[in-house]
Amino acid sequence: MALSPYVQAMQELFRANTRSREFPAHGAKVHSVAWSCCGRRLASGSFDKTASVFLLEKDRLVKENNYRGHGDSVDQLCWHPSNPDLFVTASGDKTIRIWDVRTTKCIATVNTKGENINICWSPDGQTIAVGNKDDVVTFIDAKTHRSKAEEQFKFEVNEISWNNDNNMFFLTNGNGCINILRQVPVAAGYPELKPIQSINAHPSNCICIKFDPMGKYFATGSADALVSLWDVDELVCVRCFSRLDWPVRTLSFSHDGKMLASASEDHFIDIAEVETGEKLWEVQCESPTFTVAWHPKRPLLAFACDDKDGKYDSSREAGTVKLFGLP
C-alpha cells in the first residue's frame, strides 16, 4: 500500500529529528504534561508536589518557573482552553489550585473531598471537573471557584473529559465502559448531568480518553493494551490500534487530528495515522511512559517517563520532561 503524502512528509520530518531531547523539570517523576492553548508554554506536574512551566524556544524548552503550594503529589494538570496564562493542578492533598503564569501566583485553592487524580477544563472555560480516588467528580465554577455540583459514581472512574461541543461529559471506567452524560439545563444553577449511554468499549479496565481537535473522533486506551477510535457522532468504534503490549496509560491527538500517540509500559510511544491505523513512527524510550501531549500547532510531542529502574544513573533521569520532533 502506498504511503499517503502526509505520512511520507511526517516520516521525513521525524527521520531528520529522530532524537528525543530531555529537560530537567522536577526532583521526582513527572505524572502529567500539557501545552497551553497557544503552544508557547508546557506545564508539568510531579510526584515532588510541584508544577513546572517551560517556555518553548526555537529549539529547546527553557524553564520559566516552579509552582509550589500543594502538600502532596501533583497527579494531573491542564490549561484553560482559551486563556494561555491559566492552568490548574489536581493533587492528592485534597485541593485543586489555579495558577496564573503572569504573576506566577496561585489565584485560587479549592478544597475538595478526596485525593484528586484527574482533572479537565470545559471547552467554554467556565467549569473545571476534578475526579478523586473515591470516584467522586466535582464540578467547580472557574470564575467563583466554588463547587457547582458533585457526582458520586458506583464504578472506578479513570479519566474524564467533555466533548468538544461542551454539551456532553465522558468518563472511562474500571469495567471497560465509556459512560456518557448529557448536560441538561435547569431553571436555576448548574445544568444537571443525565446519563445517556454506557458503551462497552473494552473487555478490561478503560483507562484514558482523548478527543481529536477536529471533533470527528475520540480515542480510548485500555488495560487490554488496545487503543480504540470512536466516531463522535455515531458513537461507534471505527478501528483499533494494537501495537502496544501493556495497558495504555496515555493518549494524544496531533493538532491536525491526523496522528495519535499512545503509550504504556512498553519502551516506545506508538504514533499512528488516525485514518488508516497504520504505524507512522515509534518514539523509543527507556522506561514506561506516564503522559504524552502533542503541541497544539505543530508536530512536536512532549512526554515523561518513569525513572529508569535500577540503573546507576537513575537520579539523573528522575523528573525530566522530554520532547520529540524538535529541530
Please tell me the distance from the alpha carbon of residue 272 to that of residue 260, in angstroms, as a whole number: 5
> Considering the domain boundaries, does residue 74 fall inside one?
yes
- The 10 Å Cβ neighbour count of residue 258 is 19
Q: What percent of the chain has pLDDT over 70?
A: 97
In-domain check, residue 84: yes
Looking at the 3D structure of the chain, how many domains does it have?
1
The helix/strand/coil state of 10 is: helix
Residue 103, domain member (yes or no): yes
d(CA 167, CA 183): 5
Domain-embedded: residue 121: yes
Q: Is 238 among the domain residues?
A: no
Residue at 60 is within a domain: yes
- pLDDT tens for 177-193 read 999 999 888 777 777 88
Give tens-digit pLDDT for 210-263: 999 999 999 999 999 999 999 999 999 999 999 999 999 999 999 999 999 999
Cα–Cα dist 119/171, whole Å: 11
- Residue 54 CB partners (closer than 8 Å, separation 6+): 23, 25, 41, 42, 43, 44, 61, 62, 63, 64, 321
CATH assignment of the domain containing 125: 2.130.10.10
Evaluate whether residue 53 is within a structural domain.
yes
Instruction: State the Cα–Cα distance between residues 263 and 274, nearest whole angstrom.
Output: 15
Phi, psi (5° rounding) for residue 41? -125, 150
Residue 273 lies in a domain: no
Q: Is the pLDDT confidence value at 268 over 70?
A: yes
Q: What's the domain range around 138?
A: 29-152
Q: Which whole-number Å values give the CA distances from 8 to 90, 212, 279, in the listed order?
A: 39, 21, 12
Q: Do residues 160 and 120 lie in contact, with contact meaning Cβ atoms separated by under 8 Å?
A: yes
What pLDDT shows up at residue 317? Answer: 56
Is 90 exceeded by the pLDDT of residue 307?
no
Residue 1 pLDDT > 90: no
Largest distance between two CA atoms of the chain: 62
